[in-house]
Amino acid sequence: MHAVLELSEGDAGQTFLPPGQAPLSPRPCCRERRAAPRKGLQSRLAEGLVAGPRPGPAPFSHGRPSSGRGAVRAVPFSPQISVTVAGLTGNEPVQCSRDVVICPDNSLEEARKKGPYDVVVLPGGNLGAQNLSESPLVRDVLKDQDSRKGLIAAICAGPTALLAHGIGFGSKVTTHPLAKDKMMSGDHYKYSENRVEKDGHIITSRGPGTSFEFGLKIVEMLLGKEEAARTKAPLVLKE
């Protein structure tokens, strides 16, 4: 069984808001959803990011893009992967952009105790990435994962949290186009325009439109190319 740890950012807001557009207000809908039985890996993974071969937590915070869920939506179809969604400030509902609300399984602090994880996944979003970048706990989780050469995956603006915490310097990475300048400040990385980039144990991807490819790359690294192909088949993705 592979475990995925998905991180969530903090403070309600949108990612890359158009000029003049205000953040959406939270919706009190998660309590009913949390009370309902979870339908296995698919519903859990669709809520968060990915971490490795044992069940594990994924930290979430307000401000992540709702489309970030697609990053792991490809992964849930494999019964060999277990995902934990973790909130930076606890297990309270997290407000995403597009008025989507996510209910973390645990706080990141509690989820961390159940590690280590095969993969730690960072979601995107401008505000969300900032929250991940400013969290000492996220830093500790990433430093521990990095020291073991465990997989670290980040999408959209999420890779900028790697920069903030000094993770993977010298690696080839990609980001959302609007996060490129920030990611390359200091020349700590080699930039790639690939939709998904893997260099060593670091996996990065560009944004909402690349989220399925991102998730499938994680499946490939955990379970192999054949399992990734089986996972991809029912998704009806454009070749």
The residues annotated with a catalytic role in the active site are 156, 176
Nearest to 5 by CA among 101, 134, 140: 140
- Rounded CA-CA distance 55/105 in Å is 12
**What 3-state class would DSSP assign to 58?**
strand
Q: Which residue is associated with the tokens 């260099």?
A: 199
3-state secondary structure 146-178: HHCCCEEEEECCCHHHHHHCCCCCCCEECCCHH
- Rounded CA-CA distance 101/95 in Å is 5
Cis peptide before 93 (omega within 30 of 0): no
Plot region of 63 (φ>0 → left; ψ -120 to 50 → alpha; else → beta): left
Q: Are 22 and 74 in contact (CB under 8 A)?
A: no
Which residues have C-beta within 8 Å of that of residue 157, sequence separation ≥ 6? 15, 16, 124, 125, 126, 128, 129, 175, 176, 178, 179
